[in-house]
Structure 1
């Protein structure tokens, strides 16, 4: 992403992340998430009429133009966001629950039909700000409950799968490693490095390392299952 085009620079107004103003002033959140070399942008508006969002925007120019239109027509911001091909608007009358689990960094919006929308995690506390904005603008009955087992297990299970896949590959490489092997073609440098790493560590120690990582993730998951994090929620009755 262009360094000059940051989510902070695209926030439509000074009150974009402020949930303490007038209840009629909308809260607009703009944030980014990174995965490897790719960066995704997200925008959400919360006001007394409901919640509108557009997630996983790949092109900064798209968000820049969207925010420009919101700035030009702030009263139409919800309609502008919802009009995008992947934009969504959930009116308050159709909102059932909004849940937030701080320890797991999970924020979910649930409509009256039971459909769930998981909101992409940010790095600057956006989930908390969104949850508080919903509380401020839309109210709801606040409460707390233990997170369910699946919510607790999702992250660790992914870690276990990746550890098993990558670990198994590394064990295989260490078994097949040969210091006299010659490499050529594309990525020969990477192949040479992996071959050297596998030969240096060896299959026995590689298995111990992979097994240790697997056990640490598994133990962490079991601890979280036993001592469940609290999930905050806002419940809404049909209007």
Structure 2
């Protein structure tokens, strides 16, 4: 029902974690997928794993979204390879922790440069191609942390993820005359490489706070992004879709223990 075959898709931060899950869903659906990331080794690994999943082509593009010129070069390379851009998944992001009291200017700048400026630069760089598509889609990877919840050590991360949603709402208005939609997914705890390294005990502890009883998989975010990128979602813009297994619902741990979770 939701055909993405032949669409040209850019996934920033697509070489691992949630981005790789998003790229895999689009590749399996037959889209032409450009994975953008900074690490050539990670790009090569992702392309090798994902190419051949569907009828489309998967390529890797070296890019640092915190640099405007790098984003411009990324978009030009994708247009040259695929003939255009239909979907931009602005997923690239970082999440190092830093206590508010000791946070340095460099730590704050690093977070905002990648997570906030990177969103602006990626969209700006792809905008001409998205307009030319006639049905452009922009899907941002935000988070429950910042827009809905908070976590110690992540004031800068939470602020960056909330900022993405402020960007989204006005960008959705500005780009609507071009038939471009701008939406965001808000992942909860997703079982990425970084989380897996924390160990089974940590994962089990996290899972107990989620009504679904388990962490999400990167593909769970990919399916949500693919829906928002579909033609059928063309009347949805400026909206957020929380994908967290119900994590934000309980008002206390007791709310889950009383259900037997």
TM range (shorter): under 0.3
Q: What TM-score comes out, normalization by structure 2 length?
A: 0.22
Q: What TM-score comes out, normalization by structure 1 length?
A: 0.24
Q: Which has the larger radius of gyration?
A: 1
